[in-house]
Amino acid sequence: RKFAAVHCVSASSCDVVLNSDTAKNGSVSSPLYPSPYAPRSYCRYDFQGRGKERVQIIFSDFNLYHPTDNSKECESIDSLVANVHIDGRMEKIDSFCGSTVPKPLMSNGPRLMLEFRGIYSSRYSRGFKATYSFTENFGVTSGHQRPDYPCAFVFNSNETRNGTFASPNFPGFYPRDTECHYFFHGGRTEKVHLHFNYFDVEGVLPCEAISASDYVEFSNFMADDRKYSRKCGQLKEFDIESDRKFFRVTFRSNDRLDGTGFNATYKFLDEVELYTPKPSQKNLAHKTDCEAAHSLQIVLLCTALLLFMTRR
């Protein structure tokens, strides 16, 4: 059954506890939604999961009163603040205001708290509505999840030869303090080809711990592979190819800044496919022209030979 969210009223405080033992998913909203919330409304939504569970919040509507002075970082205005547990204390990871619907949120562990601060209100401000879920798949919807890892997904070519994979909670911000592995297993003569369509992982090259960088790394082994350099920052589309049938991609985030992660496609290709480039339209046209010219030369040669024979 769904857990019924409790709404607070004007000039009061409400504490709503949403526990995964009661319900794995449900919805929350601002006071009186979809009617305008009252001034001086304050609500806390405390999500409490257990074990490997992460809290994912997906917003369907967001409309808070916003003054015209372009207040920076939602300070001292109507806002919704997201907090997670880091080193035993609650720490703000983001705040939202105005009328832009936030991207999906995900906690770094089984706890997350939302604080709604309705300071002013307006008859045009509906507030917000969102769905929540306690999930163990990190918002990754492809591959088979391995139960022996906190976050690992397997892709086998004998099940599907191509598909997509993405960072946790994509297209929202990925959770902090998270390590996820993606294991690709091809056939005996196959290799893995990856194409990254989108890449936004907080960090600076060479993506080392000294620069507090999040990163994505690649390897032909379970261990490190010196052939491939780590990737971080905001990158244009790029391709990565394995040397053999097994390939590992590992995403790692720290407890500091955030990014929206990555989205990529994968293909298992036979070695013959890998080294047989597809002819371009230009090359095809050139080949057709050459064949036509060659055929004309044969016709002219045969005609000349026939004339020569008839004159003898």
Q: Is the pLDDT of residue 160 over 80?
A: yes
In a domain, 1, yes or no: no
The helix/strand/coil state of 215 is strand
Does residue 240 share a domain with residue 258?
Answer: yes
104 and 148, same domain (yes or no): no
In a domain, 297, yes or no: no
Q: Are residues 200 and 244 in the same domain?
A: yes
* Residues 153 and 104 both lie in one domain: no
Last residue of a domain, one of 135, 164, 190: 135
Strand (E) or helix (H) holding 272: helix 271-274
Q: Is 92 in the same domain as 156?
A: no
Q: How many of the other CB atoms lie within 10 Å of CB of 40?
A: 14
Q: What is the pLDDT of residue 179?
A: 97
Residue 139, pLDDT > 50, answer yes
Task: Report d(CA 312, CA 309) in Å as an integer.
Answer: 6
CATH assignment at residue 212: 2.60.120.290
Question: Does some domain include residue 151?
Answer: yes
pLDDT at 148 over 90: yes
Do 107 and 42 lie in a common domain?
A: yes
Average pLDDT over residues 141-167: 97
Q: What is the rounded average pLDDT of the residues 160-179?
A: 96
* Per-residue b or e along 271-296, where b marks 16 or more CB atoms closer than 10 Å to that residue's CB: eeeeeeeeeeeeeeeeeeeeeeeeee
From residue 89, alpha-carbon distances to 83, 112, 113, 116, 143 in Å are 10, 11, 12, 19, 34
Question: Which strand (E) or helix (H) includes residue 303?
Answer: helix 281-311
Do residues 98 and 41 both lie within one domain?
yes
Higher pLDDT, 70 or 167: 167
pLDDT digits (tens, 9 = 90+) for 211-245: 999 999 999 999 988 899 999 999 999 999 999 99
What pLDDT does 2 receive? 37
> What's the average model confidence in pLDDT over 94-110?
94
pLDDT at 3: 37
- pLDDT tens digits, 19-69: 999 999 999 999 999 999 989 899 999 999 999 999 999 999 999 998 876
Structure tokens at 76: 């001292």
Are the beta carbons of 149 and 179 closer than 8 angstroms? no
Count Cβ atoms within 10 A of the Cβ of residue 141 and give its class: 0-12 exposed, 13-18 middle, 19 or more buried: exposed
Residue 222 burial (CB count, 10 A) = 10
In a domain, 312, yes or no: no
How many separate domains does the chain show?
2
What global pTM score does this model have?
0.79
Q: What is the mean pLDDT of residues 128-138?
A: 97
Range of the domain at 191: 144-274
Is residue 118 located within the same domain as residue 169? Answer: no
**Residues 66-101 pLDDT 10s:** 887 665 678 889 999 999 988 888 899 999 999 999
Q: Which of 108, 135, 162 is the last residue of a domain?
A: 135
254 and 167 in a common domain: yes
* Within a domain: 68: yes
Average pLDDT score over residue span 105-125:
92
pLDDT by residue (tens digit) across 261-304?
999 999 999 977 664 455 555 555 555 554 555 566 665 665 66
Q: Among 35, 66, 59, which residue's Cα sits nearest to residue 45? A: 59
Q: Residue 231 carries which DSSP code? A: B
Specify whether 72 is located in the same domain as 172.
no
Task: Say if 247 falls within a structural domain.
Answer: yes
Residue 7 predicted with pLDDT over 50: no
- Residue where one domain finishes, among candidates 135, 154, 171: 135
